[in-house]
């Protein structure tokens, strides 16, 4: 498997690895994938409740290089975006940015799922209705 330079860069120097306090009301956590499938992503966002802007994002991923890179890239893109803007991140943008081959597209799908799951968690915690699309890929 030949990885693109961008995948190798994110794998070797992952951005925003870590853990946010999931008990905080303004932190949303998304945990997607399954160990037996070989991919588990946990993506977390911290939202400024006044402005609705994502001020911090962290991830931890169990998976291949493309899965790690997809989640690392996702955290980079999330920071500074409003929650609504973040919902528009499409997995194909990740595929394009990281030059993922067809067999690795599922990694980008998982990253998009993780973003939506994190946002959903944030919404539910703050009394907003659940997103309809949150489970669309399963």
CB burial class (10 A; 0-12, 13-18, 19+) of residue 82? middle
Helix (H) or strand (E) holding 34: strand 27-34
Alpha carbons 121 and 8: distance in angstroms, whole number: 30
Segment contacting other proteins by CB under 8 A, of 61-69, 79-87, 90-98, 124-132? 61-69
User: In sequence order, what are the beta bridge partners of 54?
Assistant: 47
Nearer to other proteins, 84 or 116 (CB): 116
Contact between 106 and other proteins (CB under 8 A)?
yes
Q: How far is the CB of 110 from other proteins (least distance, A)?
A: 7
Helix (H) or strand (E) holding 21: none
Kindly write out the interface string for residues 6-45 of this chain, putting x where it contacts other proteins by CB under 8 A and - elsewhere.
-----x--x--x-x-----------xxxxxxxxxxxx---
Residue positions annotated with a catalytic role: 37, 107
Binding residues for other proteins, rule: CB under 8 A, are 1, 3, 11, 14, 17, 19, 31-42, 60-65, 67-68, 103, 106, 109-110, 113, 135, 137-138
């Amino acid at each position: 498997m030949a990885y693109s330079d961008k995948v190798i860069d994110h794998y070797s120097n992952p951005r925003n690895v870590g853990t946010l306090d999931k008990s905080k009301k303004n932190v949303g956590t998304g945990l997607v994938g399954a160990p037996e499938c070989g991919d588990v992503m946990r993506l977390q966002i911290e939202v400024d409740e006044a402005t609705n802007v994502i001020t911090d994002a962290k991830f931890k991923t169990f998976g291949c290089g493309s899965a790690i890179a997809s989640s690392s890239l996702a955290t980079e893109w999330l920071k500074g975006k409003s929650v609504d803007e973040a919902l528009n991140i499409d997995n194909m943008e990740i595929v394009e940015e990281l030059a993922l081959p067809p067999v690795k597209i599922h990694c980008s799908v998982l990253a998009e799922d993780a973003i939506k799951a994190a946002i959903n968690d944030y919404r539910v915690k703050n009394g907003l209705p659940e997103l309809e699309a949150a489970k669309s890929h399963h």
